[in-house]
Amino acid sequence: MEQVLKLRNLKVVFPTDYGLIRAVEGIDLDIYDRECVALVGESGSGKSVTSQAVMRLLGSPPSLVRVDVLEFDGRDLTRCTEKEMQEIRGKEMAMIFQDAMTSLNPVMTVGRQIDEVYIRHEGDSKQAAREKTVKALELIGIPEPGERANAFPHQLSGGMRQRVLLAMAFACMPKLIIADEPTTALDVTIQAQVLKTLRGMQKGCGTSLLLVTHDLSVVASIADRVYVMYAGKIVEKAPVEDLFIKPHHPYTVGLMAAVPTLTDEKKKFTQIPGTVPSPVNKPSGCYFHPRCEYATERCRREMPSLVPVGQGREVRCFHPLSVEGGKSSE
């Protein structure tokens, strides 16, 4: 199967007056054709920084980036000039942000903004671009696309705006779309709509999708494969079903328990103790050990490596859990 993105050993630090922020600490990421990969983590896990680094959107300053391999569709992105990158962004690689209101230009109609993509990347005339725009809006499930194209962003609801962003991202049928928390700001019923559209479009257009989110329930609904990040490192990597049925890393287990469902027991919340570590001052050894109930002396001392455990799964833990709640004998 064709590999769309190959990222090896990405490291990002941000120097500040208070010391180095170690945002991303050596991440490998593979995205294959037509696949939806989710990057899950909480605040400070480095998931957004990773996604920006993939698009080479991290400036230096403020950041310092090291990467061994960054290949997109067979091309070495580390050797691309900024001009070539601009050509790639939007055409072959597109991004969807959390806040549609700030990613859209408030004084331009949404139609014009989508037109621009076609005019810029495909060299269309204004008229041809508008025809494509209307078609794209229709495809994305916006009623009366011809009229809606003439609306300004503030005249649309949050869900509609997010759809416009989707239409814009899918405009040139890119190889890869990076969606950074695409539904976090939306209401539950609207979130379901947008997720379904996103999933449908991704499958329909044959695009690969990198979904960056903190919400495991979103991951469970649309992802194929999952990377779980914690404090700048990948702690677990697995196909989505395997991950949810048999999580290996204690952190993944904790995260899953923290997602409320309608079948849960009443008045009882399984909690992970402690707080998310500060990126300036991370604990020794395994970053998760202060919050982990299975932590041993070794976890306090040394950082476990990300090791393969079969079936395309990898886990960064000395004492991975094998069955739900149970503990393996290593």
Residue 153 DSSP one-character state: G
Query: Shortest gap between Cβ of 77 and another protein (angstroms)?
Result: 18
User: Which amino acid is it at 20?
Assistant: L
Nearer to another protein, 32 or 294 (CB): 32
Residues 6+ apart with CB under 8 A from 23: 12, 13, 14, 46, 49, 63, 232, 279
The pairing of strands 176-180 and 93-96 is parallel
3-state SS of 227-278 is: EEEECCEEEEEEEHHHHHHCCCCHHHHHHHHHCCCCCCCCCCCCCCCCCCCE
Nearer to another protein, 118 or 251 (CB): 251
Nearer to another protein, 129 or 197 (CB): 197
Nearer to another protein, 84 or 108 (CB): 108
Query: Shortest gap between Cβ of 178 and another protein (angstroms)?
Result: 19
Nearer to another protein, 172 or 207 (CB): 207
Query: Shortest gap between Cβ of 289 and another protein (angstroms)?
Result: 15
Query: Shortest gap between Cβ of 68 and another protein (angstroms)?
Result: 9
4 by DSSP, 3-state: which?
Answer: strand
Quote the crossing angle between the two packed helices 188-205 and 158-170, to the nearest 10°: 10
Q: Is residue 209 within 8 Å of 175, Cβ to Cβ? A: no
Query: Shortest gap between Cβ of 151 and another protein (angstroms)?
Result: 8
- Whether omega before 320 lies within 30 degrees of 0, making that bond cis, reads no
